[in-house]
Amino acid sequence: MIIRILLLGGLAAIGWLVFLRRNKLPFHIVIVFLLLAVGGAAVLAPEATLDDIAHAFGVGRGVDLITYVFEVATLFVLLHYYTKFVELQRQLTDVVRELAILRAELERTTAGNRDRSPADS
C-alpha cells in the first residue's frame, strides 16, 4: 500500500535527520530510534500492535487512538509555545526599554560633559 510506503519514508527521514544532528547524548538518539521503530511496527502491522492498545483504552481502532492522542498533544504543544512566546515578548520589552533608557542617560551625560568641557580647559 502506498500509504505505508509514505509513512515509513517519513519515519526514515526523521531518523536520518536525527542521525545527521547527533550532537546529543547517545541515550537520546537510542530513545528516538526506539520510538521510530515502534512507529514503523505500527505502520507495518497496525492490527497486531495499535488495535490491541486501543481496545485496552476502550477505543475502537488504533488509528482513532492515534488521532485523539495527537489532538491533545498538539493543543498541549500550542499552549506551551504560546506561554513561551508571551514570556519572550515580555523579556524583549524589558530589554528594549532598558536600552532606550540607558541610551538617553548616556546622551544626557555626554551632553553635560560637552557643555562643561570648555570651562574645564
Partner 1 sequence: MPPASRSVGAVYNRGVASTDTYVVIAAFREAAVIEGVVREVVDAGWPVVVVDDGSGDATAARARAGGATVLRHAINLGQGAALQTGIDYALRRGARHIVTFDADGQHAAADIPALVAALADADIALGSRFLGAVDGASRGRMALLRAAVWTSNRLSGMRLTDAHCGLRAFRASAAPALRITQDRMAHASELLRKIKASNLRVVEVPVTIRYTEHSRAKGQGGFQAIRILFDYFFRTS
Residues that bind partner 1 (CB under 8 A): 86, 89-90, 92-93, 96-97, 99-101, 103-105, 108
Closest approach of partner 1 to the CB of residue 100, in Å: 4
Nearer to partner 1, 4 or 103 (CB): 103
Closest approach of partner 1 to the CB of residue 62, in Å: 36
Query: b/e for 39-50, b at 16 or more Cβ within 10 A?
Result: bbebbeebeeeb
How is the chain split among helix, strand and coil, in percent rounded to 5? 85, 0, 15
Closest approach of partner 1 to the CB of residue 79, in Å: 12
Nearer to partner 1, 5 or 111 (CB): 111
3-state DSSP of 56-100: HCCCCCHHHHHHHHHHHHHHHHHHHHHHHHHHHHHHHHHHHHHHH
Nearer to partner 1, 22 or 90 (CB): 90
